[in-house]
Amino acid sequence: MNTPPTYSRLIDAAHYLLSKRTHDRALVAITTDSTQTFTYGEYFARAAGYADTFRELGLKPGELVVLIQQPSADVMFAFWGALLMGAVPAIFPFLTEKLDLEYYARMVQKLVNISRPRLITTYPDLEPTLKGAFVDLPEPPMVTVTQPGRVGDADAWIAAYPDHITPDQVAFLQHSSGTTGLQKGITFSHQATLRYVESASSALGLSEADTYITWLPLYHDMGLIGTFMMPFLAGVGIVTMSPFQWVRDPKVMLRAFHSYGGTVTWMPNFALNFMAQRINPDDLEGLDLSSWRLLVNASEPVRAESNHLFSTHFAPYGFKAESLGVAWGTAETIMAITYTPLGQPPTIDWVDRKRISEERIALPVPENAPESMAYASCGRLIRGMELKIVDEEGRELPERRVGNVLVRGEYMFSGYYHRPDLTENAFQEGWFKTGDLGYVAEGELYICGRKKDLIIVGGKNVYPQDLEDVLNTVPGVKAGRAVAFGMLNEALGTEDIYVICEVTTPDPDERRKIEREIRQRLTRQADVTAHRVILKDLGWLVKSTSGKMARSANRDKYIQELQAQTAKA
Amino acid sequence: MDEMVTAFQKFIAADLLRDPEYQIEANQSLIKGGLIDSFSLVQVGLFIEKTWKLKVPDRDLTVERMDTIDQMVAYVQNRLQNKK
């Protein structure tokens, strides 16, 4: 088995895969109707077909192309099509059936205003809306529907790759969702991406003998890097299905592990609960999952219970508890930069609940001690990165003290695209502020919470300010008097969204109308489902000393109110 | 039919919303209206399977087909009729 050599630009990896692995399986795309297999040769021929189309449309090296496509093999071809010609691709979330078309168009407008793509490719249903969205811009991007199936000469594209593209240049972008996420096009240079892939692949023990099985969407960093670019650049075959297919029938994923001898996957925590709860053991008769050597749980807080639920549910079919791994990182560090050691379940750290919440000290206690609570380890740093825990004044803290997690090293983004102001704010004396709170014990990182009020639902980042912007426009809600926050739902293994708004009307029917309007708008404008919409009289919400709505203080107030009600009942 | 509507109302309020007091109209858009998310459809499917002893294929659990209680009731009635 060959180990791919070290490259300096993504095109060199393409050259290696195309010349040395032409006939090996690169991609299997499972859809509800069919299964298609592509060798590296076939894969790059399709990618070259896209490069030809892009060139005919006038796209030039260095220019941004935004891909808004339904999950499919074609978006993976188009991405590499752009890379082959030296253009900069970015995959953008497509319209879901719940989201309002007009709001979606406005979101894309915001992205276009900042990122200034030259070309947007999309699917027929969305084309008219997008075409109409940019008519007022001085230099509107071209909007086009590309036809799948075209093939081209990838060798010719590789031979003609522009010399002026250097390893430190931006190779591609990634945007997270929501109005706030869109402001931040995260830039990945050739060099940082390739070095990251080398180091992370080694932490995961990846080899060309592995096979990835995945359903993660590619507009998300774990999907784009974890289950697409990393295995692809490491020469590991990928078997994909769409997230919709997986939600409807998660067994498809297990059947793929069985049929293709799958070895590795990445999933957010909620997916472990979902699969264990959804999949009926009767449907698994004859399935062999023993080839599965690694399930990396990442992108939302890891619950030891979820890991346990999953491994016990699927153990009879060959899934091994030691295949569970945990990883942590941010899109700004390319992706996950801490990993738990291979072949053993993540360490569970039992600490004193009171000491950690009141004094921010992770004091170890026996598992059965009163007031004990557990944190799952996120593992150790991969080589090439440094991490430190600091207090609010920026002073470094010793082991087992909870503070802000800062990182720096070789694998960092090159800044937010066209937003030097945001980039500058993201760093503190050269260290990237991850926004997570955690502690280090015996060299392993434990994440305990977030400094930012970010909500993570099913692995997807939701910015509370985006939801509050929606709430503040709902008739009947006192403008500026609304908060959104997340609370853990243990059964689902992820956070639920709670919103509290102040309203003037005491009328229950009016309040019911407002509540429905809030739910509808949150779904259509922000693509989220609120678990609880709580309407309160004026004056209920707490403001911080700076005059802003204090999300965590209001969450605590709400919890206390609930507890008081329960105590009364 | 009214019993079926009530059964869905009770199930959605108590099990999905975890708020038994919550009032849901039969024609109210549940997923597009932001009351439940599409993951909850899986639980709706299991509820139908358990209550009316029907096997619900995954392809039927879509937002287009199951966004209101009226749609869910029509689905169950249709399936029960075809079973006879």
Phi-psi map region of A443: left, alpha, beta (phi>0 left; psi -120 to 50 alpha): left
pLDDT at residue A346 tops 50 = yes
CB contact under 8 A, A530 and B31: no
What angle do the packed helices A73-84 and A10-20 form, to 10 degrees? 110
Distances (CA, A) of A505 to A467, A502, A510, A547: 22, 9, 7, 24
Contacts A97 to B, Cβ<8 Å? 32, 63-64
A458/B contact by beta carbon, under 8 A: yes
At A196-227, the pLDDT tens digits run 999 999 999 999 999 999 999 999 899 999 99
Q: Which residue, among A41, A264, A296, has the nearest Cα to A154 in the 3D structure?
A: A41
Q: Where are the beta strands (DSSP E) in A346-397?
A: 348-352, 372-376, 380-381, 385-390
The residue with greater pLDDT, A281 or A40, is: A40
Mean pLDDT across the stretch B44-68?
90
Hey, what amino acid is at B42?
V
Of the partner residues B19, B36, B58, the one whose CB lies closest to the CB of residue A249:
B58
pLDDT digits (tens, 9 = 90+) for A124-180: 989 999 998 888 888 899 999 988 999 999 999 999 999 999 999 999 999 876 777
pLDDT of A3: 53
b/e burial code for range A536-545 (CB count within 10 A of at least 16 → b):
beeebbeeee
Reported as a single tens digit per residue, the pLDDT across A498-545 is 999 999 999 999 999 999 999 999 999 888 999 999 999 999 999 877
CATH code of domain B2-83: 1.10.1200.10
- At which residue do the structure tokens 């931006």 appear? A170
Cβ neighbours of residue A189 closer than 8 Å, sequence gap 6 or more = A167, A168, A169, A170, A171, A414
- CB environment A110-136: b (16+ within 10 A), e (fewer): ebbebbebbbbbbeeebbebbeebbee
The pLDDT, as a whole number, for residue A210 is 98
Please indicate if any CB of chain A lies within 8 Å of the CB of B27: no
- Nearest CB among A248, A528, A531 relative to B61 is that of A248
Under DSSP, is residue A211 helix (H, G, I), strand (E, B) or coil?
strand
Interface of A with B in 477-536 (CB under 8 A): 492, 512, 516, 518-524, 528-532
State whether residue B33 sits within 8 Å of chain A by CB. Answer: yes
Residues A262/A49, Cβ–Cβ less than 8 Å: no
Nearest to A278 among B28, B42, B62 (CB): B42
Which pLDDT score is estimated for A550?
A: 85
In the structure encoding, which two tokens stand for residue A212, read together?
A: 């990835």
**pLDDT (mean) for A391-396:** 94
Asked whether residue A1 carries a pLDDT value surpassing 50, the answer given is: no
Q: How many angstroms away from the CA of A176 is the closest CA of chain B?
A: 20
Q: DSSP character for A360?
A: -
Domains for chain A: give ranges and CATH numbers.
10-23+36-189 (3.40.50.980), 343-450 (2.30.38.10), 456-568 (3.30.300.30)
Task: Parse chain B into domains and list their residue ranges.
Answer: 2-83
Whether A20 has its CB under 8 Å from any CB of chain B: the answer is no
pLDDT at A27 over 90: yes
- Separation of alpha carbons A205 and A443, rounded Å: 20
Asked whether the beta carbons of residue A530 and residue B64 sit closer than 8 angstroms, the reply is no
Task: Give the confidence band of A4 by pLDDT, cuts at 50, 70, 90.
Answer: low
A505: left (phi over 0), alpha (psi -120 to 50) or beta: beta
Residues A254-271, mean pLDDT to the nearest whole number: 97
Work out the mean pLDDT of chain A and round it to a whole number. 93
User: How far apart, in whole angstroms, are the C-alpha atoms of residue A55 and residue A20?
Assistant: 27
ipTM for this prediction: 0.89
- Residue, of A26 and A278, whose pLDDT is higher: A26
| Bridge pairing between strands A88-91 and A170-175 | parallel
Tokens of A62: 């260095």
pLDDT above 90 covers a percentage of chain A that reads: 77
Q: How distant is the Cα of A243 from the closest Cα of chain B, in angstroms?
A: 12
Contact B72, B1 (CB under 8 A): no
Best of A31, A33, A95, A98 to mutate (most B CBs within 10 Å, chain B)? A98
Spatial separation of the C-alpha atoms in residues A551 and A487, rounded to whole Å: 12
Higher pLDDT, A90 or A104: A90
